[in-house]
C-alpha cells in the first residue's frame, strides 16, 4: 500500500491523482488496508470541501473495520481517526443527528485506544456536538469542562496550537453565554499564546471574540477599536467568517450612531452573505434589521426576519424574544398589523436591553 504517496498527493492538492492511486489499490490486501484506503478516499474529498462525496467513503471504511475479524488492537486507532474525519463531514453537511450518534459511540474507543492527538481531536468534535445540541446559545457547564480538558491535554503534550483552540473555544463559550468579562479573559490568553505560535485563524477568532464581547456590552468605543483590528487581519488573511462578523458589528456601530441608512445597507449585505452560505449566526444581523425595518414600518420585511430567526437550524435567541416574534408573526398573518408591530417592538426593546442588539 502506497500510503505515503497518497498522503503526499492529497497534501499537494493533487486529489484526482491521489484517488487514481487509491482506486488501483482497492481490492488488494487485508480488510484493514481496504478500510484505510476508503478513509483516504474520504479525506481526498473533504480536502476539497466535497463533504457529501466524502461521507460514503468514510462509511465504507468504518463498515470494513466493523466487518473485520480482529476489531481490537491496531484497528481501533484507525477507526477513531476515520470517525473523527467522518464527524467533520457530517457537521459540514449539517447531519447533526448522525454526528451526535457517532460522537457518542466513539467515546469508549477514544478513552481506551486513543492517543493524545486523537483525544484532543475528539474533544473538538464533542464541543461541536454541544454547540449543535444547544443551538449556539447558553451552553451548559459541560462545554466549559470540555474546553478546560482540551487546554489541559494540550499543555501536557506541549501542543500550543490545540491550547490556543481550547482557549478560543472557552472564550467563545463565555461569549455565547453573555459572560463578556470571561470571554475577554480567555481571548486575551489565547492572544498571549499566539506570540509563541503563529496561527492566523486562531488570531482572527480571538480578535472577533474581543470585538463581539464589547458589542454585547453595548460599548461602542471598544467595539470600534477591535473592529479595526479584525478588519486589518481580514485584509491580510481574507478570512470570510471574520469579515462577515466584522461587518455585522459595523452595521451595529452605524445603528448606535443613528446612521440608520448605512446600518441597513451593511446589515443587509451581512444577511445576504450569511443566508447565501447558510451561516447559523443570523441573530447578529437579523435582530438589527428587524429594528431598522420597524423604524420604517415595513412589517412585511420585519416578519421575514422574525420568520428566519425562529428557524430550528438558526442560533437560538432568548425565549422572551422568540415568544414575541411568534406572536408578531401570527398577528401579521391575521392582518393585525398594529398588534404585530407592537410585538416586534417589544422584542427589539428586550434585545436591546439584553445586549442582543
Binding interface with other proteins (CB under 8 A) = 93-95, 275, 278, 300-301, 303-304, 307-308, 310-314, 326, 329-335
Q: How far is the CB of 257 from other proteins (least distance, A)?
A: 27
| Distance (Å) of CA 276 to CA 211, 272, 280 | 24, 6, 11
Q: How far is the CB of 329 from other proteins (least distance, A)?
A: 5
Residues ≥6 apart with Cβ < 8 Å to 223: 211, 214, 215, 249, 252, 253
Closer residue to other proteins (CB): 73 or 312: 312
The closest of 273, 324, 278 to 302, measured between CA atoms, is 324
Closer residue to other proteins (CB): 329 or 357: 329
Closer residue to other proteins (CB): 249 or 325: 325
Q: What is the rounded CA–CA span in Å between residue 357 and residue 291?
A: 9
Residues ≥6 apart with Cβ < 8 Å to 318: 350, 354, 356
Q: How far is the CB of 275 from other proteins (least distance, A)?
A: 6
Half-sphere exposure of 351 (CA within 13 A, CB side): 27
Closer residue to other proteins (CB): 61 or 303: 303
Structural contact between residues 355 and 318, judged by C-beta atoms closer than 8 angstroms: no
Residues present in the chain in total: 357
Q: How far is the CB of 274 from other proteins (least distance, A)?
A: 10
Q: What is the rounded CA–CA span in Å between residue 137 and residue 315?
A: 7
The closest of 117, 186, 106 to 154, measured between CA atoms, is 117
Q: How far is the CB of 169 from other proteins (least distance, A)?
A: 24
Closer residue to other proteins (CB): 47 or 92: 92
Q: How far is the CB of 298 from other proteins (least distance, A)?
A: 9
Residues ≥6 apart with Cβ < 8 Å to 113: 76, 77, 80
Q: How far is the CB of 278 from other proteins (least distance, A)?
A: 6
Residues ≥6 apart with Cβ < 8 Å to 191: 203, 206, 207
Closer residue to other proteins (CB): 71 or 278: 278
Q: What is the rounded CA–CA span in Å between residue 231 and residue 201?
A: 13
Q: How far is the CB of 353 from other proteins (least distance, A)?
A: 24
Q: Roughly how many angstroms between the first and final C-alpha of the chain, as a whole number?
A: 57
Exposed (0-12), middle (13-18) or buried (19+): which is 130, by Cβ within 10 Å?
buried
Closer residue to other proteins (CB): 3 or 92: 92
Q: What is the rounded CA–CA span in Å between residue 218 and residue 54?
A: 43
Amino acid at each position: 500500500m502506497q500510503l505515503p504517496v497518497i498522503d503526499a498527493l492529497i497534501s499537494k492538492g493533487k486529489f484526482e491523482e491521489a484517488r487514481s492511486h487509491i482506486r488501483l489499490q482497492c481490492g488488494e490486501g487485508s480488510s484493514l488496508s481496504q478500510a484505510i484506503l476508503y478513509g483516504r478516499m474520504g479525506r481526498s474529498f473533504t480536502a476539497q470541501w466535497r463533504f457529501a462525496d466524502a461521507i460514503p467513503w468514510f462509511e465504507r471504511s468504518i463498515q470494513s473495520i466493523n466487518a473485520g475479524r480482529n476489531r481490537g488492537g491496531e484497528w481501533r486507532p484507525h477507526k477513531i481517526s476515520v470517525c473523527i474525519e467522518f464527524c467533520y463531514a457530517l457537521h459540514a453537511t449539517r447531519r447533526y443527528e448522525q454526528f451526535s450518534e457517532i460522537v457518542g459511540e466513539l467515546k469508549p474507543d477514544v478513552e481506551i485506544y486513543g492517543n493524545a492527538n486523537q483525544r484532543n481531536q475528539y474533544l473538538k468534535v464533542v464541543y461541536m456536538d454541544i454547540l449543535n445540541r444547544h443551538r449556539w446559545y447558553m451552553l451548559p457547564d459541560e462545554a466549559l469542562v470540555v474546553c478546560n480538558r482540551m487546554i489541559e491535554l494540550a499543555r501536557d503534550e506541549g501542543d500550543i496550537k490545540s491550547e490556543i483552540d481550547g482557549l478560543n473555544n472557552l472564550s467563545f463559550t463565555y461569549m455565547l453565554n453573555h459572560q463578556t468579562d470571561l470571554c475577554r479573559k480567555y481571548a486575551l490568553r489565547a492572544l498571549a499564546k499566539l506570540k509563541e505560535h503563529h496561527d492566523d485563524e486562531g488570531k482572527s477568532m480571538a480578535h472577533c471574540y474581543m470585538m463581539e464581547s464589547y458589542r454585547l456590552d453595548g460599548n461602542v468605543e471598544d467595539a470600534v477599536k477591535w473592529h479595526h483590528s479584525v478588519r486589518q487581519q481580514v485584509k491580510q488573511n481574507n478570512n470570510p467568517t471574520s469579515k462577515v462578523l466584522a461587518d455585522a458589528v459595523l452595521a451595529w456601530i452605524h445603528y448606535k450612531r443613528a446612521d440608520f441608512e448605512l446600518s441597513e445597507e451593511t446589515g443587509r449585505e451581512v444577511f445576504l452573505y450569511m443566508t447565501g452560505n447558510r451561516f447559523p449566526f443570523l441573530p447578529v444581523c437579523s435582530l438589527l434589521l428587524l429594528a431598522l425595518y420597524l423604524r420604517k414600518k415595513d412589517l412585511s420585511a420585519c416578519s421575514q426576519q422574525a420568520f428566519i430567526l425562529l428557524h430550528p437550524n438558526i442560533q437560538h435567541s432568548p425565549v422572551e424574544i422568540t415568544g414575541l416574534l411568534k406572536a408578531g408573526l401570527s398577528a401579521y398573518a391575521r392582518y393585525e398589523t398594529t398588534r404585530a408591530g407592537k410585538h416586534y417592538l417589544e422584542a427589539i426593546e428586550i434585545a436591546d436591553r439584553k445586549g442582543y442588539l
